Chains A and B, each alone.
Chain A
Amino acid sequence: MKIETIKSWILVLLLAPALALAANDDADWTNKLKDQYFAGKSIEESSDVIEIDAPYRAEDPALVPIKIVSKVPQTRDSYIKKILVLVDKNPFPFVGEFEFTPESGKADLAMRIRVNTYSNIRAIAEMNDGRLIMTKKFVKASGGCSAPIGADLDAAMQRLGKMKFRLDDGAKIGEPTQAQLLISHPNITGMQMDQVTRFVKKSHFIKEMRISFNDKPILTAKTDIAISADPNFRFYFVPDKAGVLKAEVADTSCESPTSRDACTAGNSFSETYTLNP
């Protein structure tokens, strides 16, 4: 063995603990993401406004259930206007941007996301007065054999565009009520190996979602490939009377999994649910 090889081995061994630590760092945020999304703005780090609930280990990188829990009520005077969610170390960190209103009642949001590797999941809330508050949660990668795509692509393809709402029993007028929206869509990332190109699939994902109750917006979102196949969201709204909950979603297809410069608009889907409390 050449002495150079031995030296590089020593270097690798000495660096190993440092590399392991680096996995839990904020480098991608500090060096790149902060400026990309919030150039020149100051962000307070706190878990007093929102907190992220996520499993310590991503059991399945294709499907990590996370929940943003809000700690403040949505009132006319003070409310969470927007929450940006990022997975620092995903190939495309942007998970989604979610807009809430006072009619949301609570700016809670549960969803399932793809997490490629050891990474911080980050949520930044923007209040109606412009204040920015950030919280984060570190998630360990899965040690198994599955990949961050989806188990049965063809099944999701066959149901593409199918949607359903599920509501908790006992929705009460004037009180925050939880609803779940299920969208069947493969949410294809477009990440793939070049030499097996016969199956080239561009990224193909749900890019926007508008949920309203009696035409008043409750949750409006821009989403991307980090949302798991068959996107699933739980959120709140305050029904002021009987009425119609409506979801309108649209998908898109982009040439590259990690650039949004060349995309074509896709299809729109909608679903309604009549609420008679």
Chain B
Amino acid sequence: MRLLFALILSLASGSMSAAPVLSVTEVAPGVYVHLGVHELPDTKNHGAIANIGFIVGERCVAVIDTGGNPRQGKSLKLAIEHTTSKPVCYVINTHVHPDHIYGNKAFKAPGVQFVGHQKLARAMATRGLYYIDKAADQLDVKLTADDIIPPDIAVKDHLDLDLGGRTLKLTAHRAAHTDNDLTVYDERTDTLWISDLLFIEHLPVIDGSLKGWLAELKTLESHAYKTVIPGHGPIVTDWPKSMQPEKAYLEMLLTEIRDMIKQGKYMEEAVETVGYSARGQWRLFDEFHRKNVTTAFAELEWEN
């Protein structure tokens, strides 16, 4: 019983004490990133798995993704306060996934504008109830509707945000990783915050459109960037080289699934046979590959 009591106390204090300052690295002048971990969101990591961070201008700060739970959002806010005295003026959500948006509420304040893809609010509305439910079950995180904060500024194609002497160029993409992917380009340091359009080491997850994703990669690949910040995996300084494994994986899915459909095979068979040659090359392959085949198959079935 005493052990149980101690366990309870440690659990309780873990969730109630002040949030710690999040560790961040300055990957380019004024660009700070907290690197996530390659884990499935669960009740131990509480969904804090993605790369998140912020960019500091002369006037103010733009947060780029807020973390996988409200507490990580608070930790990120503390990291910003430890780094600069400038206020946060924008919170940019790169897409709807929980590991990128659940820290939003920590930044809700007068003078802060939330920014997202024009389809982000809809995605939040249609997924929100389910996500709140799952957060309790799967992350051991208590969320309410107030934690899901839709954008004040919706980006349709492109938008420039001025942080004072520093312009962030935002691009809303077609359906790719999700149907609401937004990337952020920092002109000053030639850094592209590509978020979940790029997975390194962690298996890419398709929750939008396989064909759309490959098309967006083709466009992005034709540009040179000094630094690229993926949503999952290490910082990239050899773009587009580090993107090739992701592209190869997605292209392999496209080819093999199209072939299955042409042969009159069903989704259930595709899930068992397509793409297993890539298994050794990725973390979390067993957790996400079958889902990828499922989503891609349903999309490709409607070609022609």
Interface positions of A (Cβ within 8 A of B): 1, 5-6, 9-10, 13, 55, 59-61, 63, 65, 67, 110, 112, 116-117, 141-149, 151-155, 159, 162, 166, 168-169, 180, 182, 184, 189, 191-199, 201, 228-230, 232, 234
B205 contacts A by Cβ under 8 Å: yes
Q: Establish whether residues B125 and A196, one from each chain, have CB atoms under 8 Å apart when the complex forms.
A: yes
Q: Interface readout for B240-284 with A: 1 if CB under 8 Å, 0 if not?
A: 000000000000000000000000101110010000000000000
Q: Is B298's CB under 8 angstroms from A63's CB?
A: yes
Residues of B within 8 A of A196 (CB): 121-122, 124-125, 128, 148, 150
Contact A192:B129 (CB < 8 A) given known A151-B175, A152-B175: yes
A99 to B: closest C-beta gap in Å: 23
Closest A residue to B121 by CB, please name it: A196
Give Cα A159–Cα B301 distance, bound, in whole angstroms: 12
Q: Are A199 and B125 also in contact (CB < 8 A) when A146-B291, A154-B179 are? A: yes
Least CB distance, B53 to chain A, in whole angstroms: 19
Q: How far is the CB of A169 from chain B (nearest CB, A)?
A: 7
Kindly provide the distance from the CB of A205 to the nearest chain B CB, expressed in whole angstroms. 14
Excluding A59-B290, A149-B127, 4 further A-B contacts by CB distance (< 8 Å) are A9-B12, A144-B205, A151-B179, A182-B302
Given the complex of chains A and B, what is the CA–CA distance between A156 and B43 in angstroms?
34
In the assembled complex, the Cα of A166 lies from the Cα of B265 at a distance in Å of 11
* Cβ–Cβ < 8 Å partners of B290 in chain A: 55, 59
Q: How far is the CB of A165 from chain B (nearest CB, A)?
A: 12
Closest chain A residue, CB of each to CB of B68: A145
Q: Are B205 and A154 in contact, with the CB atoms below 8 A?
A: no
Assess whether A191 is in contact with B130, with CB atoms less than 8 Å apart. Answer: yes
CA of A184 to CA of B206 in the docked complex: distance in angstroms? 20
Whether B71 is near chain A, meaning CB under 8 Å from some CB there, is no
Instruction: Kindly state whether residue B138 has any CB partner on chain A within 8 Å.
Output: yes
- A149 to chain B: which residues have CB within 8 Å? 126-127
Query: B148-203: which have CB < 8 Å to A?
Result: 148, 150, 175, 178-179
Inter-chain contact A152/B209, CB cutoff 8 Å: yes
The CA-CA distance from A13 to B130 in the complex, in Å, is 24
CB distance from A134 to the nearest CB of B (A): 23
Once the chains are docked, how many angstroms separate the CA of A27 from the CA of B119? 38
Residue of B nearest to A23 (CB): B137
Q: Mark B60-91, 1 if CB is under 8 A from A, else 0.
A: 00000000000000000000000000000000
Total A-B residue contacts, Cβ distance less than 8 Å: 150
Question: Of residues B40, B145, B148, B207, which shows the largest number of chain A Cβ atoms within 10 Å of its Cβ?
Answer: B207
Residues of B within 8 A of A143 (CB): 40-42, 138, 287
C-alpha spacing A189/B127, complex, angstroms: 11
Binding site for A on B (CB under 8 A): 4-5, 7-9, 11-13, 16, 40-42, 97-99, 119, 121-122, 124-131, 133-134, 137-138, 145, 148, 150, 175, 178-179, 205-209, 212, 264, 266-268, 271, 287-288, 290-291, 294-295, 298-299, 301-302
Assess the A59–B4 pair: CB atoms within 8 A: no
Q: Flag if B291 contacts A13 (CB, 8 Å).
A: no
- Residues of A within 8 Å of B97, CB to CB, are 145
* Measured CA separation A232–B270 after assembly (Å): 15
**Cα(A63)–Cα(B271), bound, Å:** 12
7 closest A-B pairs by CB: A193-B128, A196-B125, A147-B127, A59-B291, A59-B290, A199-B122, A145-B97
The contact of A117 among B4, B137, B178, B287, by CB within 8 Å, is B137
User: When chains A and B are docked, how far (Å) is the Cα of A153 from the Cα of B268?
Assistant: 22
Is A192 a contact of B128 with CB atoms below 8 Å?
A: yes
- Whether the pair B299, A155 counts as a contact (CB closer than 8 A) is yes
Q: A145, A168, A184, A194: which contacts B302 (Cβ < 8 A)?
A: A184
Which residue of the partner chain A has the closest CB to B207? A146
Q: Is the CB of B148 within 8 A of A193?
A: yes
Residue of A nearest to B130 (CB): A147
- Residue in chain B with minimal CB distance to A6: B8
Q: B42: which A residues are within 8 A, CB to CB? A: 143
- Complex interface: chain A residues within 8 A of B150 (CB): 196
The interface residues of chain A lying within 8 Å CB-to-CB of B121 are 196, 198-199
CA distance A18 to B273 in the complex (A): 38
How many angstroms from the CA of A196 to the CA of B120 in the assembled complex? 11
Contact A9-B11, Cβ < 8 Å, known A144-B287, A193-B129, A234-B266: yes
Q: List 12 A-B contacts (CB under 8 A).
A: A13-B4, A55-B271, A55-B290, A141-B134, A144-B205, A152-B209, A155-B299, A196-B125, A196-B148, A199-B122, A230-B301, A232-B301
Contact partner of B264 (CB less than 8 A), chosen from A10, A116, A166, is A166
Residues A152 and B130 in contact, CB atoms below 8 Å apart:
no
Complex Cα–Cα for A193 and B132 (A): 10
